Structure 1
């Protein structure tokens, strides 16, 4: 899939993206940056984005990098989250950016898929506040489930 089409595909196929105003500011085949605006209705009891919003923007950024890297294989495999780990490091305030980086070479993942396996691969995500401080870190492990 052409990386320039990923943002549009995410907006059309993932309603959460439009509902919460996620924008994709950078899209590459192994790295995506997504932005989440600060909205009062998405805040928690201490005035920052709710933990669900932090996870949501991070997982969404990871999904966009998966689409950029493996969108050309959607006719034979469905990308799914297998598991995720999250660490809340610092109180987040204001608008957020989430940088997602594919941790394995896409060619290795595709080779496993072509070899009849169901590959798993991590995407590392750093969520930063408006000052650029990392507030949240995620590792989202994805799989490509072969179509049967």
Structure 2
């Protein structure tokens, strides 16, 4: 997967990622990572990263995973159905979100899509600061369908 091209496309389609300075770090061997810098654009009224930014970073990984593994991305698109976030510590540095989605899961996803035209999955992401402190965990529910017709 060309991470630079994917990141550019994500920023074009969802300009908030450009505004927040999101960078895709990894999307290989079942490991998915993205980061957002601690900047004025990402901050809140007390100088820590805004809750909405953390939410966006955790949620983004569901799209990255499907972009990496979908056999037919023109036919099937992901949408988030639900995302729960559990805040653990103040986010005072750049934040990196990490999720895992293996080849076996990808095979199941593509098989179900071809068989039924739908696939739902849950994805956990762990958000850490530059010191390795977990600042939040997300659990997203995603649906893949042919939403574009």
TM range (shorter): 0.7 to 0.9
Which contiguous aligned blocks of 4+ residues in structure 1 show a shift greater than 3 angstroms?
Answer: none
Matched position secondary structure for 2:6? helix
Mapped partners of 2:51, 2:20: distance in 1: 14
Which residue of structure 1 aligns with residue 79 of structure 2? Answer: 80
Give CA deviations for 1:44-95 in whole Å, capped at 9, x if unaligned: 233210100111111123321221122x312221211121111001111111
Aligned residues: 146
User: Normalized against structure 2, the TM-score is what?
Assistant: 0.86
Mapped partners of 1:51, 1:73: distance in 2: 33
Mapped partners of 1:30, 1:3: distance in 2: 15
User: Normalized against structure 1, the TM-score is what?
Assistant: 0.87
Alpha carbons of 1:123 and 1:102: their partners in 2 closer, same or farther (altered >3 Å)? farther
Decide whether the 8 Å contact of 1:17 with 1:60 is kept in 2: no
Alpha carbons of 1:49 and 1:139: their partners in 2 closer, same or farther (altered >3 Å)? same
CA RMSD, 1 decimal: 2.0
Q: Tell me, which stretches of 5 or more residues in structure 2 are unaligned?
A: none
Matched, 1:17 2:17: yes
Q: Tell me, which stretches of 5 or more residues in structure 1 are unaligned?
A: none
